Structure 1
Amino acid sequence: MASYIIGLTGGIGSGKTTVANIFADLGITLVDADIVAREVVQPNSNGLNSIVAHFGSQILLTDGNLNRSKLRELIFEDDSERLWLNKLLHPLIRETMLQQCKEAQSDYVIMVVPLLFENGLDSLVDRTLLVDISPELQQQRTVDRDAVTVQQVKNIIGSQASRAEKLSKADDVIDNQGEISALKCKVQALHNLYLNLANNS
């Protein structure tokens, strides 16, 4: 059982998934908040039933799954709706993630959480790792990847903690503005550090 937890975070488009996958290639279990967030709103789950009761059936796709883009629209336009949704889902997500960390078999486990600091989830981990890039690169990568407008990306970045705030809170920082080969070296160095920390904790 992995008892040492690293919280991996980074803004949209920063490359935290790439970093997480390199750790996974080194044999480390990943517990991904985005995946868990989907699991807690599967059809017939308590999470989805509560969302339908609140927003009505307009929030469902024809196959009974959650219409994410519709939900995103509703909560980005209205802060109170966003708060309501967070209050519902965060405890469910937190509980599920901790359970998955407990069941992990690797020497340490990586919890991948986009809003690690914003949602106070850094309190659940032993150490935090931030994947950092400039806001300009963040915008460019996200627009290229998700086919969204620059304004939409700016809104998302604006709803997250500032770069300075995240940098001040993170224990470790990976600068992801270079080549993938450089990134792999950085991850390998941190992997060695984390193995050491986990074995001595």
Structure 2
Amino acid sequence: MQNKKLIIGLTGGIGSGKTAASDYFETLGICVVDADVEARNVVEPGTETLEKIRQHFGSDVLNEDGSLNRPWLRDKVFQNPEERVWLESVTHPAIRQCIVDKLAASESPYSILVSPLLFESGQDKLTDRVLLIDVPETLQIERASRRDQNSEAQVKAILKAQLSREDRRSKADDIIINDQDLGYLQAECLKLHKYYLSLASS
């Protein structure tokens, strides 16, 4: 029987540098599964999940090309918490299954699951260890505002909806403080990569 592969959860708040970290792990030959990418994949045209959403909300939930009308759906579930609960009951199991399948197919020594809502979604239960990319809140706001052209108020609203920095830090096994340049972040990732390789082979 094949041994279970080591799975590292990688998380962090908005503007923390999760993508820069996961991109670097990919250059080291590590399989990276991104929960956000899978969340988009499960509602692509032709998927069972999108068809369930259409049956529930009606054809207004689709754009003319048959793709999901995200702004329309966002407004709908924002105004009605019960609809959001229904939507999550359909999308979350589908996303989880995609993640599980991709992790199972991984051929690298260990795998990484990137998820901004790793703890909130319960996806941390799919992992053996959690790596947190952590930054001071002021830097988060500055980076996210610059990158996404969001106002400071928008970024603060997103931060408020996510787990607090203290909660994330208390739940993580490994923490990189990403308050320096890209070279520093990559050097810290490389140290952990060597450590994870040793864990994976033991």
Q: TM tier, shorter chain?
A: over 0.9
Partner of 2:155: 153
Partner of 1:19: 21
Partner of 1:79: 81
Partner of 2:63: 61
Instruction: From 192, 195, 200, give the equivalent of 2:194.
Output: 192
1:181 aligns with 2:176: no
* Equivalent residue pairs, number: 200
Partner of 1:102: 104
- Whole-angstrom CA distance in 1 between matches of 2:189 and 2:67: 36
- Whole-angstrom CA distance in 2 between matches of 1:26 and 1:139: 29
- Whole-angstrom CA distance in 1 between matches of 2:71 and 2:139: 24
Letter paired with 2:113? M
- Whole-angstrom CA distance in 2 between matches of 1:85 and 1:153: 24
Q: Which runs of 5+ in 1 are unaligned?
A: none
SS in 2 for 1:177: coil
SS in 2 for 1:94: helix
- Whole-angstrom CA distance in 2 between matches of 1:133 and 1:77: 32
Q: Judging changes above 3 Å, is the alpha-carbon distance between structure 1 residues 155 and 58 closer, same or farther for their aligned structure 2 residues?
A: farther
- Stretches (4+) displaced over 4 A: none
Partner of 2:42: 40
Q: Judging changes above 3 Å, is the alpha-carbon distance between structure 1 residues 56 and 136 closer, same or farther for their aligned structure 2 residues?
A: farther
Q: Judging changes above 3 Å, is the alpha-carbon distance between structure 1 residues 109 and 47 closer, same or farther for their aligned structure 2 residues?
A: same
Q: Mean alpha-carbon deviation: is it higher for 119-128 or for 62-71? A: 62-71
Q: Judging changes above 3 Å, is the alpha-carbon distance between structure 1 residues 191 and 93 closer, same or farther for their aligned structure 2 residues?
A: same
Q: Aligned-pair distance for 1:71?
A: 2.6
> How far does the alpha carbon of each residue in 1:120-149 deviate from its partner, in whole angstroms, 9 at most, with x for none?
111111110111112222222222212223
TM-score (ref. length: structure 2): 0.92
- Whole-angstrom CA distance in 1 between matches of 2:148 and 2:12: 17
- Whole-angstrom CA distance in 2 between matches of 1:154 and 1:129: 23
> How far does the alpha carbon of each residue in 1:70-107 deviate from its partner, in whole angstroms, 9 at most, with x for none?
33333344433332222211111111111101111100
Partner of 1:129: 131
- Whole-angstrom CA distance in 1 between matches of 2:36 and 2:159: 17
Cα RMSD of the aligned pairs, angstroms, is: 1.6
TM-score (ref. length: structure 1): 0.93
Q: Aligned-pair distance for 1:27?
A: 0.5
SS in 2 for 1:115: coil
Q: Judging changes above 3 Å, is the alpha-carbon distance between structure 1 residues 151 and 77 closer, same or farther for their aligned structure 2 residues?
A: farther
Identity in percent: 46
- Whole-angstrom CA distance in 2 between matches of 1:149 and 1:80: 29
Partner of 1:3: 5
SS in 2 for 1:164: helix
Letter paired with 1:189? K
Q: Judging changes above 3 Å, is the alpha-carbon distance between structure 1 residues 91 and 191 closer, same or farther for their aligned structure 2 residues?
A: same
